[in-house]
Amino acid sequence: MPDSTQLSTLASHHHSLTTPHVPARTPLDVHASLRASPGRALAVGLCLGAALLMAGAAHAWDGIVEKQVFEMEEYTTRSGETIADLAVGWEAYGTLNEARDNAILITHFFSGTSHAAGRYEEEGPAGYWDSIIGPGKPLDTDQYYIIASDTLVNLNAHDPKVTTTGPASPHPETGEPWGLDFPVVTIGDFVDVQKALLESQGIERLHAVMGASMGALQAYEWASTYPERVERLIPVIGAGEADPWLLATLAAWAAPIRVDANWNGGDYYDGEPPLDGLREALKLVTLNANHWQWANETFDRSWADEEADPARDLDARYAIEQTLDDIAAARAEVADANHLLYLVRANQTFMAGYGESLEAGLAAIEAPTLMLYSEDDLVFAPQSVRRTAELIAADGTPVELIPLTGTRGHLDGVVAIDQAGDRLRAFLAH
């Protein structure tokens, strides 16, 4: 069994892609340190406002962050549906200057949250990109105002540190959970809610927008749909559309929930939730977000129980199987199955700009672009990332494509982000 006191999140809680009692997240990501068997330490990565901040009102960031809530009385989705009483959580690091032109937006990954940096309390876990966000770090909070928000239909709907509106939220007219009556939402809707949050703080233009995995999709959408508002674009481990490989991968993540009898067509809030399906789904997310190099270097063929031989007992397990199960079980405690299905669909339907073609959507991007990716990514095919870079650059937009190295595959975009620290610093200063 994993040591729950070692569980640390890369994504914030309820992430996606965490305190000791709250499971780690994954993006299409997340990071956790667990034990696969007695005496064996393992590093396991999981893929992973109402209050208006007036200029000068915030103090220099001391590393402790406060979660806040942004509310809208009504939001109309891009498909024309209405969501009343919408709310999302957000947090910020640094100070918004008088001109309100030093804001950097961080957009989170599939199973992540807005907890990108800092801690909610001195002994709490740091945000997933704490290595690059803070005083004197590449995303320097002495210079920039860095803001991040929970998305709509956030996976971690039951995490007390997350505020999100989705199927698990009460319908304003009935007081009962929306369930599958909740409108299908897109990455574009996530962006439009973020736009409203920024406008509530008087921010009309971003110094940069940066995000990993599903966060990269949001960053592309920002720069494509609102090019006049984005000065710099930094997509990490993500491409300009959901290609067929990603469509199928996402469908595989959703499948275990749909075959769990407790899912009941999405109507389970008055009964037993489909936890078996949710756990299996989260196990797939974790596995796909990593890489075989990590698995083979971290684990051997050890049994989960030294007394239970898998060759003699169908219920016996290997250490890697048990570890993935334990991670998924912990994360499922704060996740919601319907929210995962809505996130899957939002990612599947993504194409930058949502227009007639990917070429047109990426051609609309005018911001200089710094793309970080992994050649060993098993979620976003490296070829799709390179094609995205080529299409953005086709009309002369400056694009730089930098690989991150490591053994984590997709998750290197979270756990190895500090490799790009010097380039990020220079790019933001240019």
Q: What is the pLDDT of residues 237-272, one digit of tens each?
A: 999 999 999 999 999 999 999 999 999 999 999 999
The 10 Å CB-count burial string (b at 16+, else e) for 260-271 is: beebeebebbee
Catalytic: 377?
yes
**Number of domains composing the chain:** 1
At 54 the pLDDT is 26
Note the pLDDT of residue 226: 98
Catalytic residue among 108, 115, 339, 410: 410
Q: For 292-328, how does the pLDDT look when each residue is reduced to its tens digit (9 = 90+)?
A: 999 999 999 999 999 999 999 999 999 999 999 999 9
Given this model, what pLDDT does residue 53 score?
A: 26
Nearest residue to 127 via CA among 42, 15, 249: 15
Q: Could you tell me where the beta strands, DSSP code E, fall in 77-220?
A: 82-93, 103-107, 133-134, 139-140, 145-149, 208-212
Q: What are the residue ranges in the chain where pLDDT is below 70?
A: 1-61
Task: Return the pLDDT at 61.
Answer: 58
Its domain, for residue 267, covers: 1-430
pTM: 0.87
The answer to whether 213 is a known catalytic residue is yes
* pLDDT value, residue 62: 72
Residue 59: burial class (beta carbons within 10 Å; 0-12, 13-18, 19+):
exposed
- Kind plus residue range of the DSSP H or E element containing 363: helix 358-363
Cα–Cα nearest to 398, from 389, 408, 409? 389
The two three-digit tokens of residue 413, written as one number: 């975009």
The residues, any chain, with a CB within 8 Å of residue 154's CB and separated by 6 or more, are 14, 15, 16, 88, 113, 162, 164, 166, 339
What is the CATH number for 106? Answer: 3.40.50.1820
CA 139, CA 346: separation in Å to the nearest integer?
28
Exactly one of 12, 114, 169, 213 is catalytic; name it: 213
